[in-house]
Amino acid sequence: MTNTQEHTGIPLDEVLAAARDLATAGRWGRAASLLDATTATDARGRALVALAAAQIALDGDWVNGTRAAPGRLDTAEQASATATLDPASRWDLAHLRLRQAYSDQVHRAGQFRPGPHGRDPAVLADLRRRAGDLHAQAPDDVRRGWAQMYLGLIADNLYAERDAAPAHYEAALRAGESGDEAQATGFLAGTDPTAPPDHDA
């Protein structure tokens, strides 16, 4: 008996949407496998697949304590370097890098460790600058809201600026209510929607 493979032409947008739906349902491994099995025919398509894989890996890392995202982010950056991407996709990649850097700072030895003590002030300042740049460069209100969210998280969890953070959270919530369910849900609950429950400061 001979094994055969069928090749079905599915629009790339549908594959990416299906992978994100799987990840939303907590099926990060299945989502990654779907993207790894997807063969894009051009540089832009390969970059979008790599970008989606990096996003899904980072979401999975937050919940599962794994470290799949750094390698996926490197792959996405390499693929994007030779591709013609829209500004929103390039913004998304920079946002993923910011999220990874924030995660690396706020977690120490596998534990959530808030506050500025023991951290390099220059590194914290760079994170805040990058979040500010993302806010200024965001191509739409929802992405601007995600930048506000991370400005709030950086102020709250890395600088311990409890009075400064709420204004960023409120701005992020307003943006989320305009079109991003995950963002709005997370801020109605007072948490980072990309983080597991025990990450709530």
CA–CA distance, 22 with 71 (Å, rounded to integer): 21
Residue 156 has pLDDT above 90, yes or no: yes
Reference 52, options 63, 195, 24; nearest CA is: 24
Per-residue pLDDT at 111: 79
With bands split at pLDDT 50, 70 and 90, how would you rate the model's confidence at 180? low
Q: What are 14's two structure tokens?
A: 């549908």
Per-residue pLDDT at 62: 87
Q: Which amino acid is at 82?
A: T
- Report the C-alpha dihedral over residues 50, 126, 163, 145, rounded to 10 degrees: -30
With bands split at pLDDT 50, 70 and 90, how would you rate the model's confidence at 196? very low
Q: What is the CA radius of gyration of the chain?
A: 18
Per-residue pLDDT at 53: 96
Per-residue pLDDT at 139: 94
With bands split at pLDDT 50, 70 and 90, how would you rate the model's confidence at 2? very low
Distances (CA, A) of 79 to 38, 82, 155, 187: 14, 6, 32, 33
CA–CA distance, 77 with 51 (Å, rounded to integer): 8
CA–CA distance, 116 with 155 (Å, rounded to integer): 10
pLDDT digits (tens, 9 = 90+) for 45-89: 999 999 999 999 999 998 888 899 999 999 999 999 999 999 999
Give domain limits for the chain.
Answer: 9-85, 86-201
CA–CA distance, 84 with 47 (Å, rounded to integer): 9
Residue 185 has pLDDT above 50, yes or no: no
Q: How many CB atoms lie within 10 A of CB 25?
A: 10
Average pLDDT over residues 38-44: 91
Average pLDDT over residues 22-41: 93
CA–CA distance, 162 with 151 (Å, rounded to integer): 12
Distances (CA, A) of 127 to 90, 95, 123, 154: 18, 11, 6, 8
pLDDT digits (tens, 9 = 90+) for 105-130: 998 777 788 889 889 999 999 999 99
Per-residue pLDDT at 181: 54
